[in-house]
Amino acid sequence: MYYDKKYSNNIMIEEYTKKLDDKIKELNSTRVFKKITPKYDLSWYIKWSSSIILLLAMALTSVSGFEPLNLILHLIGVTGWLIVGMLWHDRALILLNSIAALIFVTGILIIYYDYS
């Protein structure tokens, strides 16, 4: 049997140059999903700004001396994600961020009104 390396390399190159969508169609699998989250709409801007605010709040939490500010930023971030959850009708996001907002409001009230 004759093995043509050049022909084999061409097949490999063609295989790698197929578009991802074509490969997904060929698989005909229910396990392969395309991204369905909206892009560049209101929820997209809210989720990314809320994520950045939450990261900043976490960084401030790791540094001592920013106690009221880090809780306020956390509250703003989880409130943003709560709004995203409502826009997406996502119960998990709504539940998680509602409880988180309640926890952060409690923490803010404890700091400002000295509830001990």
Is the residue at 3 inside a domain?
no
Q: Give, in order, the Cα–Cα distances in Å from 40 to each of 45, 53, 73, 80, 111.
A: 7, 18, 23, 16, 37
Q: Answer yes or no: is 21 within a domain.
A: no
Looking at the domain assignment, is residue 64 inside a domain?
A: yes
Domain that holds residue 50: 42-113
Q: How many domains does the chain have?
A: 1
**Residue 11 in domain:** no
Res 26: pLDDT: 72
- Most confident segment among 3-7, 9-13, 55-59: 55-59
Query: Does residue 7 sit within a domain?
Result: no
Is 83 domain-assigned?
yes
Residue 106 lies inside a defined structural domain of this protein: yes
Q: What is the pLDDT of residues 20-53, one digit of tens each?
A: 667 667 777 666 566 677 888 999 999 999 999 9
Residue 27 lies in a domain: no
The answer to pTM > 0.95 is: no
Contact 70/60 with Cβ under 8 angstroms?
Answer: yes
CB under 8 Å to 115, separation ≥6 — which residues? 109
